[in-house]
Chains A and B, each alone.
Chain A
Amino acid sequence: MAEASSGPAIQVEGLTKSFGEVRALRGINLSVPRGTVLGVLGPNGAGKTTAVRILTTLLRPDGGRAVVEGRDVVRAPAAVRRIIGLSGQSAAIQEELTGKENLELIGRLYHLSWPDARSRATELLEQFDLVDAKDRPAKTFSGGMQRRLDLAASLVGHPKVLFLDEPTTGLDPRSRLGMWGVIRTLAARGTTVLLTTQYLDEADELANTIVVFDHGQVIAQGTAEELKSQVGGDVLEFVVPDRSRINDAVAAIKPLGEGEPHVDQDTAKISVGVGSRSSDALIDAVRSLDAAEVVTHGLALRRPSLDDVFLALTGHAAEDDADAPEGKRRGRRQGSAAADDGAKGRRGKSS
């Protein structure tokens, strides 16, 4: 039991889970120190949600061990439930009830008295900037407000460990930033957070440590900086509209990059890691491509994305292995038409 007070908040050893033929988890190991944020990064079908469902006692693992605050999720699920909060991929709120009623309901189910449930609801509505909407049915809320209410609901019981499964999937950029602010505040107050995401920038913003899942395995672990150093810093990216010139373009920029340029044949997009030479590399690239008389489109520098991390780690892009369930509308990969925006979109963000 001493482990409960001094060990990590979450300890996972050799966790496995299969659904029929599909091996969703193939031996996951994780250790999350108290009061830190772990970002679990990976594409759809990588096993992120399965891991969260096991840790929150919703699913029994086939093998291995998972312990939350010293409580084993298989042997003491009730004890685990008393100290965790879960906010899933969709807003698990009752749309016909008002914001206040939703939180009071959860409070009552945590066995708070009516006055305590009411004051906890009021407190959370204030904290999550939902006071103005508290008496409106939740179905009139915007997507971002519904997700904030859902997150508030997961905090009613003062959880020591909070599980957030893709908390910003499907949100518009502004709501996403709002959500980040809320999660940062929680982390600053000492709540241990396990957060899954498909977005490297999100993990980068929020997590102390990141683990990368692919095909049910942890393929990399470290801080955002460590992962990015594996990619090799910034990425230079452009589209070659005339596909017959792709090889010339690759030849022209190859000397500038650190590692092989990657060519996406579908979109005629070429990307190459340029390390810390960022702006020099950009200028050199313009010169080289000009000298080679290759016409390019949307030439820009951007910060490494999940795809780049995956390319660097596995040699394959973070393709969707499974069909994206509803609510996962946001594509990670920028289509060719959006290449310009894609290249610029993630810049200008503090690191």
Chain B
Amino acid sequence: MTAIAADTGLRETGPSPLTSAKWAISDTLTMTRRNLIVWYRVPAYIFFSVVQPVIFVLIFRYIFGGAIAVSNSGGYVQFLMPGIIAQTAAFASFGTAIALAQELQKGVIDRLRSMPMARSAVLAGRLVADTIRMLVTILIIVAVGYAVGFRFTGGVGPAIAMIVLATVFGLAICCIAAFTGLAIGDEESVQSFGLIWLFPLTFISSAFVPIDTMPGWLQAFANNQPVTFVVDAMRALAIGGPIEANLLKSIAWLAGIFIVFAPLAVRAYKRAA
């Protein structure tokens, strides 16, 4: 009996911190791999996440673009592409929210939460896979941009920095989406909710038009919201212009979003019912 008790006592203490950390990473990679396989198996996901921004590129480049006056060199296509890329990154969050809501509905999250895996791995694996997915989409949109006349004029370093900034911005939005997906827990509601806040947020910004063409009351919002800071910083990295102020404001906003929403998402996961 003593031997058994000792054995049980040992097992109650659980794995060492080092082993725990190793498992957390291994579990995250397992979940990432699984999410990427699912994405790869359903070409419709890739298709729709790429088709929407491509249509936007074509519509704004060839239909609205001619009517929108911009002051930067290279014309509207140079103005447009950083905005479209930022919006593409933000819209990648639909995938995050919908996938988590589906997993919650189907009981997959219950199954995973009842297992001895790392508690953080489901969210981390989701965000890592969605970031990879987002990066692939962004690169495709950059290529499409090149086909319609867009060029990075600031060199390779700033071009890479722009893509990194877009990806981090998208990841921040994915954190918000992870929280809403788990908190709302219903696929259709999650999708509608995403449209309700992401459409205004990305359109009432400097992404598609110069803000000074908007009515004054709208300018007040557009000039002070994170999408504008991020898009302006991305645009400066892509085609030149003053960077520092916008980049700092972007970083401050993104850090704030992570600090608030990452813990909220984790809490929603732990309490998911």
Contact = CB atoms under 8 A, between A and B. Distances in A.
A2 to B, nearest CB: 6
A79 interface: yes
A58 B110 contact: yes
Given A86-B114, A106-B115, A109-B115, A79 B14 contact: yes
Contact of B34 (A1, A86, A94): A94
Interface in A84-108: 84-86, 88-94, 96-97, 101, 105-106, 108
A109 B273 CA distance: 21
Interface string B92-113: 0000000000000011101111
A1 B108 contact: no
Given A78-B14, A97-B34, A111 B1 contact: no
A351 B196 CA distance: 58
Contacts of B12: 71, 76, 79
Interface string B18-33: 0000010011001100
B8 interface: yes
Given A59-B273, A88-B107, A94-B38, A4 B5 contact: yes
Which size bracket describes the interface of A in this complex?
A: 35 or more
B8 A84 contact: no
Interface string A6-24: 1000000000000000000
Contacts of B117: 109-111
Contacts of B38: 94, 96-97
13 contacts: A1-B8, A56-B110, A58-B273, A79-B11, A79-B14, A88-B107, A94-B38, A97-B34, A106-B115, A109-B115, A110-B115, A137-B41, A157-B116
Interface of B: 1, 4-5, 8-9, 11-12, 14, 23, 26-27, 30-31, 34, 37-38, 41-42, 106-108, 110-117, 121, 273
Given A86-B114, A88-B111, A154-B111, 13 more contacts: A2-B1, A5-B8, A6-B1, A78-B116, A81-B116, A82-B11, A86-B111, A89-B107, A91-B106, A96-B41, A109-B27, A109-B31, A153-B111
